[in-house]
Amino acid sequence: MTREQHGVSAVGAGFDRSAATYQDAVAHNRIGARRLVEGMPTGDYRAIVDVGCGTGFASFEMIHSRGTRRVIGVDASPAMMEVFRAAAEDMPEVSVDLRVGDASALPVDDASVDAAVSTMAFHWFPDKAAALSEMARCVRPGGVVAVLTAGRGTDGELLDVMRAMDPPVPAAWTGVFEHIHRDVREMHGLLRGAGLEPLDVWSETRWRTAPVDAYMARLQTVASHLSSDLPPEEAAAHGQRLGDALAAASGPDGFAYSFVKLFAVARRPG
Ligand SMILES: C[S@@+](CC[C@H](N)C(=O)[O-])C[C@H]1O[C@@H](n2cnc3c(N)ncnc32)[C@H](O)[C@@H]1O
C-alpha cells in the first residue's frame, strides 16, 4: 500500500528523503530507545507494534533485550522501513511485518500485541491523543505502551535565533515548536485520556554543542517536510541564512542547544 492511500502527511515524504543517512545522523536515538526499553516493567513482550518505527531502533532493542519475536512496524515512510527490512533479514527467528500507515489509525487488530512502543516519532504525530488511543487499543489488557518523544525545550536556542532573524524564516519553521513538544504533565494527561495507567513519565535534558554543519544536517534529516511547500531554491536560501545566524550565535565548539527527551511508560488496565 502506498502512503497516499493512507493519507499520511508530508512528514513521511520528508523521511523518505532522509532514510539513507538517517542512522548516522541521529545516533542518539538508538541510545534513547535503549533507555525507554530499560524503563519498561518486566513482562511478556513477544509481540509488539512499533509506531513510527522508522529504521527500527525501538524494535531492535525489544528483540535483543525483551525477547520480542513478532514485530509489526507502522510508519509513514516506506523508505525508512526499507532500511529496517534490510537490517531484519539477519534475524530469521523474528517475524517483522512492516506496514505503511498513520499513527492515528493503526492497521493493527485490537488487543493483538503485548506492547506498543514508539521512539522519537510521537512529536510528529498531528493528533497525539488519537495516536495514544490507538496504541492502547492494540495492546492486550495488561499490556504496555511506551513512548519516547522530544519534550518541551528541545532546540529552544534554535527557536530564539530564528525569532530574531529579519527577514524572518518561514512561519512553519518557528510555528511547529508549539505543536510538537509536550512536557511530563501534559504527557501524563494524554496517557490518562487514552485510558492508560501511567507507570513512569520522566524527562532528561541534555546540553549539547555541535558544529553548525552537523546541527543543520540533523535538522534536514528530521524536519525537511517543514519546507515541502517551498520552492527548493527558496528553502535553500532560508537554510543558508539560518546557518549564518547559527554560526554568529556559536562559540568555539559550535552551536549549543538543549535536547529534552520525554519518556512515558503506561499500562492498559487488565
Ligand atoms: C525521527 S523518525 C524516528 C524513527 C525511529 N522510531 C527512531 O527511533 O529512530 C520519525 C518517524 O516517524 C514517522 N512518522 C511521522 N509521522 C507519522 C505518522 N503520523 N504516522 C506514522 N509514522 C509517522 C516518520 O516517517 C519517521 O520514520
Q: What is the mean pLDDT of the chain?
A: 93
Contact 102 CB / ligand 1 (< 6 Å): yes
pLDDT at 185 (0 to 100)? 98
Q: Which CATH class is domain 3-154+179-207+259-267?
A: alpha beta
* CB-based burial, 57-72: b 16+ in 10 Å, e otherwise: bbbbbbbeebebebbb
Specify the pLDDT at position 10: 77
pLDDT tens-place string over residues 63-78: 999 999 999 999 999 9
Where in the chain are the domains?
3-154+179-207+259-267
75 lines ligand 1 (CB under 6 A): yes
Taking the CA of residue 125 as reference, the ligand 1 atom at the shortest distance is 19
Distance 102 CA to ligand 1 centre (A): 10
pLDDT at residue number 153? 96
Q: Ligand 1: does its nearest atom lie under 6 Å from the Cβ of 60?
A: no
Q: Which residue, judged by its Cα, is nearest atom 27 of ligand 1?
A: 54
Whole-number Å distance between alpha carbons of 119 and 18: 17
9 pLDDT more than 70: no
Say if strands 255-267 and 139-150 run parallel, antiparallel, or are unpaired. antiparallel
Compute, in angstroms, the gap from residue 53 CA to the centroid of ligand 1: 6
Portion of the chain with pLDDT greater than 70, in percent:
96
Q: Stretch 8-15: mean pLDDT, rounded?
A: 77
CB of 61 closer than 6 angstroms to any ligand 1 atom: no
Cβ count near 11 (within 10 Å)? 24
Q: Exposed, middle or buried by CB within 10 Å (0-12, 13-18, 19+), for 118? A: buried
Render pLDDT for 217-249 as a digit per residue (tens, 0 to 9). Answer: 989 988 888 998 899 999 999 999 999 999 999
Cα 76 to middle of ligand 1, angstroms: 7
pLDDT tens figures, 23-59:
766 777 889 999 999 999 999 999 999 999 999 999 9
Examine the pLDDT at 124 and tell me if it is beyond 50.
Answer: yes
Span from the CA of 96 to the centroid of ligand 1 (angstroms): 17
pLDDT at 13 over 90: no
Contact 254, 51 (CB under 8 A): no
Is a pLDDT exceeding 50 seen at residue 109?
yes
User: Which pLDDT score, from 0 to 100, does residue 6 have?
Assistant: 42
15 confidence band (pLDDT: 50, 70, 90): confident
Is the pLDDT confidence value at 2 over 60?
Answer: no
Q: What is the pLDDT of residue 44?
A: 97
The model's confidence at residue 3, banded by pLDDT at 50, 70 and 90, is very low
Query: Is 29 in contact with 57 (CB distance < 8 Å)?
Result: yes
Pocket test for ligand 1, best of 15, 16, 22 (most atoms within 8 A of CB): 15
Are 155 and 249 a contacting pair, CB within 8 Å?
Answer: no
Query: Over the stretch 148-187, which tens digit does the pLDDT of each residue have?
Result: 999 999 999 999 999 999 999 999 999 999 999 999 999 9
Beta partners for residue 151, in sequence order: 182
Nearest CA to ligand 1 atom 4: 54
H/E stretch holding 158 reads: helix 156-163
- The CA distance from 194 to 197, in Å, is 9
Pick 21 or 94 by higher pLDDT: 94
| pLDDT value at 111 more than 60 | yes
Task: Give the pLDDT confidence score for residue 64 in this predicted structure.
Answer: 96
